Structure 1
Amino acid sequence: MSQKLRYIIPAIICLFTISWAIPFEQEKSNPKAERVKIALRQVGNELLLSNKDSSSIIRPVVQLNALQYQLSFEGKLAFLPDSLVAIVDKNFEKAGLSKNYIVEVIRCQDQEVSYSFEMNFNQNKTIVPCSGRKVANACHQIEVQFIEEADAVSESKLAIAGLAAGLLVFLIVGFRKNNTTRLRTSSEESEATDIDVYTVGSFHFYPKQNKLAKEKDTIALSKKECELLVIFANRPNEIIKREELTKTVWEDHGVIVGRSLDTYISKLRKKLKEDPTIKITNVHGVGYKLEVE
């Protein structure tokens, strides 16, 4: 048997073992639509009753996609966040629905998020902010996004996968021991081009200096605001998904906090409002777009 085959055959066996031990595909939590709609209508009824409103109409619950639902009302709605959290949690548990979900309360007028929270089986990932601050009376829609759940992998499979992965690493190291090659990182292959100033409408944006300038006025930006605005400035009039914005600005640094993205988008909007030819719009359920006339 040749020297290469001595390593290749065991490596193939290891790969098959790992693929058996840890499934590549994760099952999605896809709750029954009828059960979700019933639970959401009960949520809407209890919210209206908490406002002493027993006559307003609850519109039909709309299924936006396999895991997302929308509840809306004929009239206006005001509520205490802790009451909303308790009502949703109680009715979802009663209906036997997943405990992994995100709730967003969206103003009809401008599609801004008035309040949101996340529930999770893992209590450390549950995020319920500003529970005591009342949300003002307005036309609101409530959207629920169920989060995908992965099936648990048995301890025995994890142990086998760990052993197989360790053996695979050992084989790779042995095969390459006398044939190591220095890998060049992307930063060594090419230098990133840093842009000193962007033109955003009537603003001049200086990312290295964390500031916006318009005529004689200067507006300071935070680091996160700068990182978001660089993405938008490089891709004007293009829809950028929430996942991409969050991953680029937060996840790569190891921290994602609740509705951080929406908070910083709102801050950017306020700082750009002096120029009516530009605006950051919310593409519902997808992401955001910097519109430049």
Structure 2
Amino acid sequence: MLLRENLLQGKRKYLSGFILLLSISLICVAFTMSGSEDFDIARREVLLRKIGHELLLQSGDSTSRVLPVKKMAENEYRVSFENAFTFQPEVLVNTTQRVLANDPLAANYVVNVLNCADGSVAYGYAIAQNKKDDIITCKGRKQPVACYMLNIKFKPAAITTAKNGYLLGALLLLAVVGFIFLKPVKQQKILTDLPGEHDAPSPDVPASPDTDVFTLGTMVFDAEARKLMINGTAIELTKTETRVLRIFALSPNEAIERSRLQKEIWEDDGVIVGRSLDMFISKLRKKLEADPNVKIAVIRGKGYKLKVA
């Protein structure tokens, strides 16, 4: 039994170590992905400024500034300009496609050219990863000189979805592993009470609060101490032996059904053991041989009876 307890403790330590290692790995993955995504977003803002810069150059303006890029919402940015300018829609479309080809997260996006005065859309188009889904119109119409802003909205990046998927998968794995390792703990504890060559009393296991002392012939059965006393000699009992004998001692000379014994001894632990009962009965019989007037008899078709003369 001691070996089984050591194995159980070792399994718990292994589980704790595994959970700790997996948790650390999750944290590292989360920070790594977050850092990588932050870098890509910062790089995207530089690319957007490059689009604004090339747009001014193509309109003949090499001196005015591209104002700081503003992040309007998640995956949405706005590029503003210091001075008014004109642009050719075809040139704008080609420039954004060429520059944003360097952004690994910009496979799908929508561009709207807004009028600064009222925010109305002067021109707009959509670029998709599948070129058949591109929406581009009126490419040949040059726009008048005015104050414009570029509003660019990207489809949520696949890396964000992947990151969430990885984290969710890892958490599910952690839950499954915890369930697999923790569920057998109670059952393994029950197995330590099953008969075997190493089955011996375990005095460090607390006794049930509703125990008592019984007189069985010339023997005294102390259920709390898990001992049979006869002529000053103590016979040690295991925890399960004590539970079996206590049921008999509460109803001496009465037939007790086998199903009742199994139910009262093992059902509370979640497992009903079959032939193990016969082995405990056999062991108890040997320990009761100290008094020939006390024995456990088989009642065919019913169960057992503790006969006390």
**TM-score if structure 2 supplies the norm length?**
0.38
Structure with bigger gyration radius? 2
The TM-score, its normalising length taken from structure 1, stands at 0.40
Higher RCO (C-alpha 8 Å, min separation 6):
1
Q: Which has the higher helix share?
A: 2
